[in-house]
């Protein structure tokens, strides 16, 4: 249930969950103040984008998940000083970690419920999967670049995100063996909404996907599959993502 929250109460909850929920290792406890400030920035962006954000803003449950993940452990060491700034950062191989607001928005839009199964296309450093982890029963994530996929899998395992499974492969085709998915998050821009992903979306499920070329305007799209199997799409806001690669992405 979405509800307004007092600023101090929300920040206190974020700090408490960040201290308790991720890992008992000392490095994962760093950046608590920065995470709280990141949450404030996310909320400010949400208030300025009412057409994209549903209800009363980003769900507090999503904000709690964002606050529990040590983002600085998901970026290269030389980028850690900027880890909690609201901007994308390079992670190598021509890829980026999305800005925190976009991660929060995409997570919020798929409306993960307890017991839900989620598919992510484009693991990258593993950050989006880590944010989804406490919200879903199972998260499946596909990364086309072997080095990134292997590193993300190791990182997620070390930080005890035990319900996340990563594989290296072409995400355009989804992961049929584990379909249908209650939510699908695509973290790279395609020229069109991939039909295999629509097929693998459960009835009542949602998918968020950036659509557009690398040198053209991209828009974040919300795709919903109704109970009768019909599909609705909604254009939300302009975005800029790295391109989805693979055999059919363009």
Tens digit of pLDDT for each residue in 203-222? 999 999 999 987 778 999 99
Q: Judge whether 124 and 147 are in contact, CB under 8 Å.
A: no
Among 71-80, 133-142, 185-194, 215-224, which is the least confidently predicted range?
Answer: 215-224
Distance CA 227, CA 206 (A): 12
Q: What pLDDT score was predicted for residue 20?
A: 40
Tens digit of pLDDT for each residue in 8-22? 444 444 444 444 433
CA nearest 152: which of 76, 228, 61? 76
Q: What pLDDT score was predicted for residue 214?
A: 75
Domain assignment present for residue 215? The answer is: yes
pTM of the model: 0.86
Domain of residue 23: give its range.
Answer: 7-239
Q: Judge whether 181 and 119 are in contact, CB under 8 Å.
A: yes
Catalytic residue among 98, 125, 133, 141: 98
- Cβ-proximal residues to 54 (8 Å cutoff; 6+ apart), any chain: 2, 108, 109
Q: Judge whether 171 and 122 are in contact, CB under 8 Å.
A: yes
Looking at the 3D structure of the chain, how many domains does it have?
A: 1
Distance CA 186, CA 155 (A): 20
Domain assignment present for residue 245? The answer is: no
Domain assignment present for residue 68? The answer is: yes
Domain assignment present for residue 247? The answer is: no
Q: Is the pLDDT of residue 234 over 90?
A: yes
pLDDT band at 249 (very low <50, low <70, confident <90, very high): low
Q: What pLDDT score was predicted for residue 248?
A: 61
In the DSSP assignment, the letter for residue 99 is P
List the Cα angle 148/171/233 in 5-degree steps. Answer: 125
Distance CA 144, CA 86 (A): 26
Q: Is the pLDDT of residue 41 over 50?
A: yes
Tens digit of pLDDT for each residue in 136-187? 999 999 999 999 999 999 999 999 999 999 999 999 999 999 999 999 999 9
Q: Note if 98 is an active site residue.
A: yes
Q: Judge whether 72 and 109 are in contact, CB under 8 Å.
A: no
């Amino acid at each position: 249930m979405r509800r307004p929250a007092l600023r101090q109460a929300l920040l206190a909850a974020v700090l408490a969950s960040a201290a308790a929920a991720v890992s008992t290792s000392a490095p994962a406890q760093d950046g608590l103040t920065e995470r709280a400030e990141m949450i404030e920035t996310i909320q400010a962006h949400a208030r300025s984008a009412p057409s994209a954000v549903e209800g009363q803003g980003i769900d507090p449950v999503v904000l709690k998940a964002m606050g529990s993940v040590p983002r600085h452990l998901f970026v290269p060491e030389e980028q850690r000083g900027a880890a909690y700034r609201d901007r994308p950062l390079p992670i190598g191989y021509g890829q980026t970690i999305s800005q925190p607001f976009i991660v929060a928005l995409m997570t919020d839009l798929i409306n993960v419920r307890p017991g839900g199964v989620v598919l992510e296309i484009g693991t990258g450093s593993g950050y989006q999967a880590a944010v989804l982890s406490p919200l879903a029963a199972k998260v499946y994530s596909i990364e086309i670049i072997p080095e990134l996929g292997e590193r993300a899998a190791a990182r997620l395992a070390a930080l005890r995100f035990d319900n996340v499974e990563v594989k290296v492969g072409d995400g355009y085709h989804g992961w049929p063996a584990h379909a249908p998915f209650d939510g699908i998050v695509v973290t790279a821009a395609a020229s069109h909404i991939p039909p295999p992903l629509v097929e693998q979306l459960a009835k009542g499920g949602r998918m968020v996907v950036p659509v557009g070329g690398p040198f053209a305007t991209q828009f974040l799209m919300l795709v919903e599959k109704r109970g009768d199997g019909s599909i609705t799409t909604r254009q939300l806001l302009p975005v800029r993502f790295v391109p989805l690669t693979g055999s059919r992405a363009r």
